[in-house]
Amino acid sequence: LSGLIDELRTVVEPAHVLTDPDLVGPYVTDWTGRWAGYARAVVRPSTVDQVAAIVRACAKAGAGIVPQGGNTGLVGASVPRGGEVVLSLRRLAEVGPVDLAAAHVRAGAGVTLAQLQAVASDANLRFAVDLSARDSATVGGMIATNAGGMHVLRYGSMRAQVLGVEAVLADGSVLRRMDGLVKDNTGYDLIGLLCGSEGTLGIVTAAQLKLVAAPRFRVTSLVAVAGTASAVSLLARLRSLAPLEAVEIVFADGVDLVCRHAGLPPPFSQPYPCLLVVECAGSTDPTGEMADVIGEGPDVLAVAVASERAGRDKLWSWRERHTETVNALGIPHKLDVTVPIAELAGFERDVRATVSDVAPGSKTILWGHLGDGNLHVNVIGPDPDDDRVDEAVLRLVAARGGSISAEHGIGIAKRNWIGLTRSPADMAAMRAVKAALDPNGILNPGVLFDEGAGRAGSENEGSG
């Protein structure tokens, strides 16, 4: 053990190899509070060469490595399970300059989303992925988890923004595809494979990221409809709007709680079963075409529109304040799922009924990204450690052909349920890829595949 730590102190400045429990604390506890573990050390390199040397040292010692960015993940994949080395990428924080003609920018793994957005904005461009943890979520973590957010409908998830990566592989070699090429059919898409692999196939140290045009106009509509089925039929029409950027869904019970918790007035003079936040953004004013498309439908019960910042923020508030409202009511069971759009209405009905059966007296609040079929299912009431509700919801999702993890990943939290939506052939292929690229299982052991835990990383097995 001390041998490895001594070696790590020759790779990075000793002050960046943390073993003092007071210093290590924030790196070993998940921000949700649900996951925590013991790290034999936290290492904070500042260059890719240091990362490679750390990986080689850990490989030699048989020590597991938990790569960590902003530690804002939701599935327990960024904190140690038992005795791994936490490899914090936050010091790899160089970003820019923006290449204007190619519309991309190089960013180190430790650059936060907020930093990246600021650099893009200064160049009159925009980074297409946005999410609420923007001040702490890092580029490396967002790649490792294939982060989603509000704008996937238009621009795709993180994977679609990554034109290049630099990553350290399990043997300490460095994979470098950093020329920012939009078209490059030279062998396998290892870039896309690393995206969403949750630190189990390689450690991303930098990326070349696509930027998109900053919109000159942005218009938001809050649209009341009779329920999910009406929302889905409106969605089909909305897709004809080229500048469509977000279609979010909330329900009357959630809106009512938000109004009470956050002190907001009701959005309309009367309550409606279901509300959509529809946003368009582009280089010309979309107000007219938006009104035409939304207004055409027989199923639209009420509409409010805003194009100025303050008015748009107000329309968004009934959606955006759901998370804090639910957290204030207790520790929710948070399930982040996708179902095929055609199954959404049936799923919404069933999930409420099923949760009531499994956990009588609990409260189910739903909201999400309608355009992607992505619902956040929040259940308040059952004990946080009781996962019967989680399992019941995920089984419903699987039965309707959905995904048990839309945006957050599998991590530790959902690995026992991965078989619900991934067939044995699929699992065998994924395990084969893992074994091929990390034969000794040192990269984020225990994440995705349950038996990975303990293969590497436990202190007993490590040598120094």
Whether omega before 273 lies within 30 degrees of 0, making that bond cis, reads: no
Q: How far is the CB of 358 from a copy of itself (least distance, A)?
A: 23
Select the span of 106-114, 141-149, 250-258, 262-270 touching a copy of itself (CB under 8 A): 141-149
Select the span of 153-161, 256-264, 352-360, 376-384 touching a copy of itself (CB under 8 A): 153-161
Contacts with 13 (C-beta within 8 Å, 6 or more apart), sequence order: none
Q: How far is the CB of 333 from a copy of itself (least distance, A)?
A: 18
Token pair for 292 = 């035409």
Site string for a copy of itself, 407-446 (x = CB under 8 A): xxxx-------x--xxxxxxxxxx-xxxxxx---------
Residues 277-306 that bind a copy of itself (CB under 8 A): 282-284, 286, 289
Select the span of 21-29, 133-141, 166-174, 218-226 touching a copy of itself (CB under 8 A): 166-174
Q: How far is the CB of 213 from a copy of itself (least distance, A)?
A: 5
Examine residue 132 and tell whether it contacts a copy of itself (CB under 8 A). no
Binding a copy of itself (rule: CB under 8 A), the pick from 179, 308, 313, 450 is: 179
Residues 259-278 that bind a copy of itself (CB under 8 A): none
Specify burial of residue 308 (Cβ count, 10 A radius: 0-12, 13-18, 19+). exposed
Measured CA to CA, the distance from residue 318 to residue 367 in angstroms comes to: 11
Measured CA to CA, the distance from residue 370 to residue 367 in angstroms comes to: 9
- At which residue do the structure tokens 């009357």 appear? 252
Residues 359-378 that bind a copy of itself (CB under 8 A): 369, 371-374
**β-bridge mates for residue 164, sequence order:** 208
Contact call for residues 47 and 111 (beta carbons, < 8 A): no
Q: How far is the CB of 40 from a copy of itself (least distance, A)?
A: 27
Residues 226-245 that bind a copy of itself (CB under 8 A): 232-233, 235-236, 239-244
Contacts with 63 (C-beta within 8 Å, 6 or more apart), sequence order: 4, 40, 57, 83, 84, 85, 442, 456, 457, 462
Q: Which is nearer to a copy of itself, 6 or 292 (CB)?
A: 292
Q: How far is the CB of 142 from a copy of itself (least distance, A)?
A: 12
Q: How far is the CB of 434 from a copy of itself (least distance, A)?
A: 8
Q: Which is nearer to a copy of itself, 151 or 312 (CB)?
A: 151
Examine residue 338 and tell whether it contacts a copy of itself (CB under 8 A). yes
Binding a copy of itself (rule: CB under 8 A), the pick from 9, 19, 136, 215 is: 215
Q: How far is the CB of 414 from a copy of itself (least distance, A)?
A: 8
Examine residue 131 and tell whether it contacts a copy of itself (CB under 8 A). no
Q: How far is the CB of 148 from a copy of itself (least distance, A)?
A: 5
Binding a copy of itself (rule: CB under 8 A), the pick from 23, 36, 118, 214 is: 214
Binding a copy of itself (rule: CB under 8 A), the pick from 100, 118, 226, 399 is: 100
Binding a copy of itself (rule: CB under 8 A), the pick from 33, 187, 265, 361 is: 187
**β-bridge mates for residue 302, sequence order:** 224
Q: Which amino acid is at 147?
A: A
Q: Return contacts of 437-440, CB within 8 angstroms, 24+ apart.
A: 437/169, 437/170, 437/201, 437/202, 438/169, 438/170, 438/200, 438/201, 439/170, 440/59, 440/62, 440/170
How many residues touch a copy of itself under the rule CB under 8 A: the total is 95
Binding a copy of itself (rule: CB under 8 A), the pick from 40, 90, 106, 177 is: 177
Closest C-alpha among 59, 61, 67 to residue 43? 67
Token pair for 352 = 């409420």
Examine residue 463 and tell whether it contacts a copy of itself (CB under 8 A). no
Examine residue 402 and tell whether it contacts a copy of itself (CB under 8 A). yes
Q: How far is the CB of 237 from a copy of itself (least distance, A)?
A: 9
Contacts with 195 (C-beta within 8 Å, 6 or more apart), sequence order: 143, 144, 146, 158, 159, 162
Q: Which is nearer to a copy of itself, 183 or 270 (CB)?
A: 183
Measured CA to CA, the distance from residue 54 to residue 44 in angstroms comes to: 10
Examine residue 174 and tell whether it contacts a copy of itself (CB under 8 A). yes
Examine residue 340 and tell whether it contacts a copy of itself (CB under 8 A). yes
Query: Which residue intervals of 62-157 are DSSP H helices?
Result: 113-122, 139-144, 152-155
Measured CA to CA, the distance from residue 223 to residue 242 in angstroms comes to: 19
Closest C-alpha among 170, 186, 193 to residue 87? 170
